[in-house]
Amino acid sequence: MRVAVVGGAGYIGGELLRLLLCHPDVELVQATSDRQRGQPLHAVHPNLRHLTSLKFTAHDELGEADAVFLALPHGTAMHRIDELALRDWRIVDLSADFRLRDPKAFARHHGVEHRRPDLVERFVPGLPELGRERLRGARWISVPGCQATAAILALRPLAAAGLVAGDVLIDARTGSSGSGSSPAPAAHHAERSGVMRVYQPTGHRHEAEVAQACGVSTRMTVTAVEAVRGVQVVLHLRPARPLRQTDLWEVYRAAYADEPFVRLVSQRSGLYRHPEPKVLSGTNLCDVGFAVDDDGCRVVLIGALDNLGKGGAGNAVQCLNVAAGLDERAGLGFPGLHPI
The mean pLDDT of 259-271, rounded to a whole number, is 95
Of 146, 214, 286, 319, the active-site residue reads 146
d(CA 54, CA 37): 11
Above 80 in pLDDT, residue 15?
yes
233-263 residue pLDDT tens: 999 999 999 999 999 999 999 999 999 999 9
Q: Where are the domains of the chain?
A: 2-143+310-323, 146-307
191-201 residue pLDDT tens: 888 889 998 89
Name the amino acid, one letter, at 317. Answer: V
From the number of C-beta atoms within 10 Å of its C-beta (0-12, 13-18, 19+), residue 171 rates as middle
Report in angstroms the alpha-carbon separations of 201 from 171, 172, 210: 9, 10, 16
Q: Is CATH 3.40.190.10 the right assignment for the domain spanning 2-143+310-323?
A: no
Above 80 in pLDDT, residue 179?
no
pLDDT at 181: 76
Residue 22 falls in the annotated catalytic set: no
Above 90 in pLDDT, residue 49?
yes
108-120 residue pLDDT tens: 988 899 999 999 9
d(CA 107, CA 121): 16
146-307 CATH: 3.30.360.10
All residues at 6 or more sequence positions from 72 whose CB lies less than 8 Å from its CB, including other chains:
6, 7, 80, 94, 95
Above 90 in pLDDT, residue 92?
yes
- Asked whether 318 and 261 are in contact (CB, 8 A), the reply is yes
Name the amino acid, one letter, at 194. Answer: G
Number of neighbouring beta carbons within 10 Å of residue 166: 11
pLDDT at 177: 85
Predicted structure pTM score = 0.96
120-155 residue pLDDT tens: 999 999 999 999 999 999 999 999 999 999 999 999
- Asked whether 48 and 17 are in contact (CB, 8 A), the reply is yes
187 against 74, higher pLDDT: 74
Domains 2-143+310-323 and 146-307 share a fold: no
The mean pLDDT of 61-78, rounded to a whole number, is 95
Above 80 in pLDDT, residue 212?
yes
Confidence tier at 203 by pLDDT (50, 70, 90) = confident
Question: For every residue of the chain, which 3-state class applies, written as one string?
Answer: CEEEEECCCCHHHHHHHHHHHCCCCCEEEEEECCCCCCCEHHHCCHHHCCCCCCECECHHHCCCCCEEEECCCCCCHHHHHHHHHCCCCEEEECCCCCCCCCHHHHHHHHCCCCCCHHHHHHCEECCHHHHHHHHCCCCEEECCCHHHHHHHHHHHHHHHCCCEEEEEEEEEEECHHHHCCCCCHHHCHHHHCCCEEEEECCCCCHHHHHHHHHCCCEEEEEEEECCCCCEEEEEEEEECCCCCHHHHHHHHHHHHCCCCCEEECCCCCCCCCCCCHHHHCCCCCEEEEEEECCCCCCEEEEEEECCCHHHHHHHHHHHHHHHCCCCCCCCCCCCCCCCC
pLDDT at 195: 87
> Dihedral of CA 168/211/205/275: which sign?
positive
pLDDT at 340: 86
150-177 residue pLDDT tens: 999 999 999 999 999 999 999 999 998 8
Above 80 in pLDDT, residue 183?
no
